[in-house]
Chain A
Amino acid sequence: MTDHRTTDPRPTHPRTTDPRTTDPRVAPKPALRRFHQARWDEKLVFELGTPGERGVLPPLPEPAVTAAVGDPADRLPPALRRAAPPALPELGQQQVLRHYLRLSQENLGADLNVDVGQGTCTMKYSPKVNDTFVRDPRIAALHPDQHASTVQGVLELVHRLEQLLKEISGMDRVSLQPGAGSAAIWTNVSVIRAYHAARGEAGQRDEVVTTAFSHPSNAACAKTAGYRVITLPPDADGYPDIEALRAAVGPRTAALLITNPEDTGIYNPRIAEFVRIVHEAGGLCAYDQANANGILGITRAREAGFDLCHFNLHKTFSTPHACGGPAAGACGVTAELAPHLPGPTVEFDGERYLPDHDRPESIGKIRPYLGVVPNLVRAYAWIMSLGAEGLREVAETAVLNNNYLLDRVRRIPGVSVPYAEGRPRVEQVRYSWQRLNEDTGLHSEDLGRRAADFGTHYWTSHHPYVVPEPMTLEPTESYSRADLDEYAAILAEVAREAYEDPETVRTAPHRSTVHRIRHEPLDDPAVWAVSWRAYRRKVLGERP
């Protein structure tokens, strides 16, 4: 039995003084940092500035030029010319810089906090040196419409990155065109649809099977493509229920879209059997490898029998998430499915690298041109800096970190680790605060908000909550033992407060930029405002 008195990760008191500080004139540091987020009450950029204010004043053409060519705008067809100038913000450079610096201070970015709480998102460190490659004019100044002969370098890089990801996944071709994970899933679903259509079975195969713990984008993309979606529940051990799969597949099955490990962090050892059951019914199997960080260099989609897979380069391969995009996805397929991949692909004829646009069976474009090239550069640099052994070490360290954090967090009163009790997890864990909720009435969201007062945060899970009162943590390979100890201590302190001072937790956050956000406007199309124009109409009540 564990002795909680000696292994409790909580500090004895949050205001405990640093024992190294003995000088009474120096204010002692608390055991947990006294974080306070900046609050600037910053307006939207559209509300700033003055009419006529400018950041850059381009010089007027010289009179001789104007006399020779006239107004260059006259050369544009009238249909392409604005009758009135666009309603852009008008402000100077310093005002712009200050605005965005303030906004950045009101954020808890991945470079600022111990970002292990965004489980499933694989928030690892993005090496800053890779940004210097992206900013190099030899990348940054290229235009995607340049002739292939003038961009051999970037074409070679894209081609090489494909070879690396083929080796990592075991698949025969990899497309780098998708701009994010969901775009990659959409690519997979589109390839699946094209495959069945080519075989004359598009009408018959109108169902896609996925699982309760797979990312909701799998179901969403399948539906967008016109499929019916059948969801498998987890069994008592947290695995997708294989008997339910047998009941779900049949002649109407187009594909299985499945993650492994799922968001519980539990690896499904029967995955090859899942694939076999679907193949026997004539369906394809797509492996959502958003959760690949714990299995890099250890298992591959090909060996599990999958027909398609996708990686999120902004997760496993370190290119940043970029606040919701653009990120980068990579779709791997077998040779049989390769003709359906989006184009152009980059081919090498032994001398030159050429974009191949002549792909009659392709699903078409997912993004313009080659994809999000800056992120392809970062992913390539990251893989090359690590090598094959390094990739495996990434996975091993991520798994070790996760199980270390699991060991710290499971000791906190009120936490439980549903499913497969006592067994280690791969790269993430979906915890439950159900016991704390029963004891205190507080919810996981309350605790997550209170964590913001200590300079960090966590994410609960997708909806609906299959694990009650969930919390999903994924520490990746980037975090040190000290980081993980600090994170666990914050959670322990928040849990202690929940039991001893629940009102503080219930009314949290107290030291963050925004106290509370109402959820309803985010879910209601009549109210949500995703652009300035929509904000003026829906929130300010202005008539366009």
Chain B
Amino acid sequence: MTAPAVGLVVNPVAGLGGRVGLKGSDGAEVQRRARALGARPEAVDRAALTLRHLPGVELLTAAGPMGADAARAAGRAARVVHRPAGPDTTAADTRAAVRALVAAGARLLLFCGGDGTARDLLDALGPEPRLPVLGIPAGVKMHSAVFAVHPRAAAEVAAAWAAGRGCVQLEAAEVVDRDEPALREGRVGARLYGRLTVPVLPERVQQRKTGSSGPDPATPAALAAEVAERVGPDGLLVLGPGSTTHAVATALGAPDASLTGVDLLRLESTGAARLLLRDARADQLRTLPATPWIVLSPIGGQGFLLGRGNQQLTPELLRRAGRERLLVLATEAKLTALAGRPLLLDTGDPALDDALSGYLRVITGRRSAAVHRLSA
């Protein structure tokens, strides 16, 4: 008996806006801006990473960058069942490819993209489809619960599903997406679009992002004091997105820091921080005069630390800072809400993910830390 066929569709432009600080890649205009800022597509590479760890399945896919290129890069045979109309693919191509894969007999659909791509699947498959699908994470934010935590984890889940193990449960998982233009203006807020059926292995498929009730008023000042003490005067800070880091920036005297972007700050000798660069792009962080401290807070509920909404922090920058200069901030309540799940890494560089993995002290308050596991 042969294993059931796995379908693969890649959104080649997924994640294009991430490293250049655009917070998404929806629409031709944003993609053009991203390319103009030097962004290179990475989705095909991420799909290939999954396929490299997924031997021995019958693979159906779409032509060129929509799947076949990834299969070739991974050295996997694949049957092409759909060809996009032109070189610049759109959401319509994703929907058409999905329908073709289903028609050709795919029993599990791997899609490589972000929240927008997940919405394309919903559009193609209809509301609440039964066909199991799993996202290879390649978008910028990915708040939906339909993605593996890492391209390699997607391979693990797909392999377990293909082997027919009873431990792979199917669950209805939420597809949510943000209003990208509002996000670029610093406003947040997500909408529920529907549910997809997802095979789930514990800790291998990501949770939905949960909104925070906000840290208690004393916490940002405590975290800020702790950060200032570690970094010291004249230290350079690269501050990741999120309400926790934004509150810390405000407590450090830089209320103009962005809520959803990556910022560069310098600690003055007075202990206050000066905002050097708001909403920085990856290329702007490449040539810093000194080794920076990277200050991050995990995404509530999901636990993502790197690779979701902060792709501006490139593997090169993270390697330069190293584990020693990685300051992770989270309230005890935020860590507790993870219920033992690790903080997640998906930098785009699997070797770096492995190097950063393991136990790390997470700063939870003034003179307080909790040991927590980081994992890819």
Q: Which residues of A contact B (CB under 8 A)?
A: 212, 219, 223, 227-236, 241, 243-245, 247-248, 463-466, 468
Assess the B369–A229 pair: CB atoms within 8 A.
Answer: yes
Number of B residues with CB within 8 Å of any CB on chain A:
19
B221 to chain A, nearest CB (A): 15
Q: Cα distance A229–B373 when bound, in Å?
A: 17
A226 to chain B, nearest CB (A): 8
A228-B336 CB under 8 A given contacts A243-B359, A244-B359 = no
Assess the A247–B340 pair: CB atoms within 8 A.
Answer: no
Q: Cα distance A241–B359 when bound, in Å?
A: 10
A233-B371, A247-B371, A248-B371 known, 14 other contacts, Cβ within 8 Å: A212-B336, A228-B368, A231-B369, A231-B371, A232-B370, A232-B371, A241-B371, A244-B372, A244-B373, A247-B358, A247-B359, A464-B331, A464-B332, A466-B336
When C-beta atoms are compared, the residue in chain A nearest to B371 turns out to be A244
Q: Cα distance A223–B364 when bound, in Å?
A: 13
Q: Cα distance A223–B365 when bound, in Å?
A: 11
25 pairs of residues in contact across A and B, judged by CB atoms under 8 Å = A212-B336, A223-B368, A228-B367, A229-B367, A229-B369, A230-B361, A230-B369, A231-B368, A231-B369, A231-B370, A232-B371, A233-B335, A234-B340, A243-B359, A244-B372, A247-B358, A247-B359, A247-B360, A247-B371, A248-B359, A248-B361, A248-B371, A464-B331, A464-B333, A464-B336
- For residue B335, which residues in chain A have a CB less than 8 angstroms away from its CB? 233
Assess the A223–B367 pair: CB atoms within 8 A.
Answer: yes
Which residues in chain B, 320-376, are within 8 Å of chain A measured between CB atoms? 331-333, 335-336, 339-340, 358-361, 364, 367-373
B215 to chain A, nearest CB (A): 12
B358 to chain A, nearest CB (A): 7
Q: Cα distance A464–B372 when bound, in Å?
A: 16
Q: Cα distance A248–B340 when bound, in Å?
A: 17
- For residue A463, which residues in chain B have a CB less than 8 angstroms away from its CB? 333
- For residue B361, which residues in chain A have a CB less than 8 angstroms away from its CB? 230, 248
When C-beta atoms are compared, the residue in chain A nearest to B370 turns out to be A231
- For residue B372, which residues in chain A have a CB less than 8 angstroms away from its CB? 233, 244
The listed residue with most B CB atoms (<10 A of its CB), out of A212, A230, A235, A245, is A230
B154 to chain A, nearest CB (A): 23
B336 to chain A, nearest CB (A): 5
A233-B370 CB under 8 A given contacts A243-B359, A247-B358, A248-B359 = yes
Q: Cα distance A466–B369 when bound, in Å?
A: 16
When C-beta atoms are compared, the residue in chain B nearest to A248 turns out to be B371
Assess the A230–B371 pair: CB atoms within 8 A.
Answer: yes
Top 9 A-B pairs ranked by shortest CB distance?
A: A247-B359, A244-B371, A231-B370, A464-B333, A464-B336, A228-B367, A248-B371, A464-B332, A230-B369
Q: Which residues of B contact A (CB under 8 A)?
A: 331-333, 335-336, 339-340, 358-361, 364, 367-373
Q: Cα distance A161–B216 when bound, in Å?
A: 45
A360 to chain B, nearest CB (A): 30
When C-beta atoms are compared, the residue in chain B nearest to A219 turns out to be B368
Partner of A227, one of B359, B360, B367: B367
Q: Cα distance A235–B358 when bound, in Å?
A: 14
- For residue A466, which residues in chain B have a CB less than 8 angstroms away from its CB? 336
When C-beta atoms are compared, the residue in chain A nearest to B360 turns out to be A247
A430 to chain B, nearest CB (A): 14
Partner of B368, one of A229, A233, A247, A248: A229
B216 to chain A, nearest CB (A): 9
Assess the B369–A228 pair: CB atoms within 8 A.
Answer: yes
A469 to chain B, nearest CB (A): 13
A434 to chain B, nearest CB (A): 10
Q: Cα distance A219–B369 when bound, in Å?
A: 11
Q: Cα distance A248–B358 when bound, in Å?
A: 12
B76 to chain A, nearest CB (A): 35
A236-B369 CB under 8 A given contacts A231-B364, A244-B359, A464-B332 = no
Q: Cα distance A360–B359 when bound, in Å?
A: 42
B298 to chain A, nearest CB (A): 14
B223 to chain A, nearest CB (A): 14
- For residue A243, which residues in chain B have a CB less than 8 angstroms away from its CB? 359
- For residue A234, which residues in chain B have a CB less than 8 angstroms away from its CB? 340
B10 to chain A, nearest CB (A): 35
When C-beta atoms are compared, the residue in chain A nearest to B202 turns out to be A236
When C-beta atoms are compared, the residue in chain B nearest to A245 turns out to be B371
- For residue A219, which residues in chain B have a CB less than 8 angstroms away from its CB? 368
Assess the A236–B368 pair: CB atoms within 8 A.
Answer: no
Q: Cα distance A275–B348 when bound, in Å?
A: 40
When C-beta atoms are compared, the residue in chain B nearest to A226 turns out to be B367
- For residue B364, which residues in chain A have a CB less than 8 angstroms away from its CB? 231
Q: Cα distance A243–B368 when bound, in Å?
A: 19
Assess the A230–B370 pair: CB atoms within 8 A.
Answer: yes
Q: Cα distance A448–B79 when bound, in Å?
A: 61
B337 to chain A, nearest CB (A): 8
A110 to chain B, nearest CB (A): 30
Q: Cα distance A248–B371 when bound, in Å?
A: 7
- For residue A233, which residues in chain B have a CB less than 8 angstroms away from its CB? 335, 340, 370-372
Q: Cα distance A227–B369 when bound, in Å?
A: 11
Q: Cα distance A491–B356 when bound, in Å?
A: 47
When C-beta atoms are compared, the residue in chain B nearest to A418 turns out to be B339
When C-beta atoms are compared, the residue in chain B nearest to A246 turns out to be B359
- For residue A212, which residues in chain B have a CB less than 8 angstroms away from its CB? 336, 370
- For residue A245, which residues in chain B have a CB less than 8 angstroms away from its CB? 371
Q: Cα distance A236–B369 when bound, in Å?
A: 20
- For residue B340, which residues in chain A have a CB less than 8 angstroms away from its CB? 233-236
When C-beta atoms are compared, the residue in chain B nearest to A240 turns out to be B371
- For residue B373, which residues in chain A have a CB less than 8 angstroms away from its CB? 244
- For residue A227, which residues in chain B have a CB less than 8 angstroms away from its CB? 367
Q: Cα distance A234–B341 when bound, in Å?
A: 11
B146 to chain A, nearest CB (A): 22
- For residue A232, which residues in chain B have a CB less than 8 angstroms away from its CB? 370-371
